[in-house]
Amino acid sequence: MGLGGLTPQSGRSRDRHLQWSAVAEFDPARIDLPDELLGPRVRLRPYREDDAQQLWEAIEESREHLGAWLPWVKDYGDRSDANITVRRLQARWLQREDLVTGIFDQASDRLLGGSGLHRMDWQIRRFEIGYWVRKSAEGHGYVSEAVQVLTRFAFTQLEANRVLIRMDPANTRSRAIPERLEFVYEGRLRNEMPDVEGRPTDIDVFALIPADFKRLSWAGLS
């Protein structure tokens, strides 16, 4: 068959190429983001330099219960490490590479924990939610509230096609969040990621796509 055999497809192929070229040229740094997101009790916002002391204190009081699951906890040796982390997170926020937020109490501005949208794929609009809460703020539903706020923001403002949450199956407190919020359990990936000791561990995956989100009773609440 000669080149002429491709002619009927050439127009559609060119259109698809133009579409994907536009996607490839898309710059996430052009996306405007709000300064903060509010729930009934919590405020989510990117860290500021004057949050470093609060961040250090929250991690320091929570090393035992966070360190079992989060490898970055050991990177905080003293307060200066919190300062450096905040600066790095600010840079990644500005580039829209990682949208890390603190979870703050609206009334007192006390840092309760952290969350955000991570491992984004802006081309297909996929976002992963991560979270942690300081020891003294456990059991009050702050993380569930933060995840609801971020999920609504991802689907309604960022036009998400997929929002997921992953965790070690043994981390039952973390697993309870997507279960409570009716994320769809998609399965267990075996030996998917290293644990805090560097050993391969399984990962449970929960996710929502737009059709799932629309059926949730809390999807339209603020």
5: its two tokens? 């055999």
> What pLDDT is attached to residue 84?
95
CA gap 159, 136 in Å, rounded: 35
Could you identify the residue written with the tokens 């979270």? 131
| DSSP E strand boundaries for the chain | 37-38, 42-45, 99-105, 111-121, 126-133, 162-167, 184-194, 200-208
Tokens of 135: 């020891």
> What ranges do the domains of the chain cover?
32-214
pLDDT of residue 14: 52
pLDDT tens, position by position, for the chain (222 residues)?
343 333 344 455 455 444 444 444 678 888 999 999 999 999 999 999 999 999 999 999 999 889 888 888 988 888 899 999 999 999 999 999 999 999 999 999 999 999 999 999 999 999 999 999 999 999 999 999 999 999 999 999 999 999 999 999 999 999 999 999 999 999 999 999 898 888 999 999 999 999 999 999 999 865
From the number of C-beta atoms within 10 Å of its C-beta (0-12, 13-18, 19+), residue 159 rates as exposed
* Strands, sheet with 184-194, edge to edge from the N-terminal-most edge strand: 37-38, 42-45, 99-105, 111-121, 126-133, 162-167, 200-208, 184-194
Which pLDDT value is given to residue 221?
67
pLDDT of residue 9: 41
209 contacts 215 by C-beta, under 8 angstroms: no
Sign of CA dihedral 118, 169, 65, 63: negative
CB 203 within 8 Å of CB 195: no
Q: What is residue 25's predicted lDDT score, i.e. its pLDDT? A: 62
**CA atoms of 196 and 193, how far apart (whole Å):** 10
Determine the topology of domain 32-214 in CATH: Aminopeptidase (3.40.630)
Q: Is 139 left (phi over 0), alpha (psi -120 to 50) or beta?
A: left
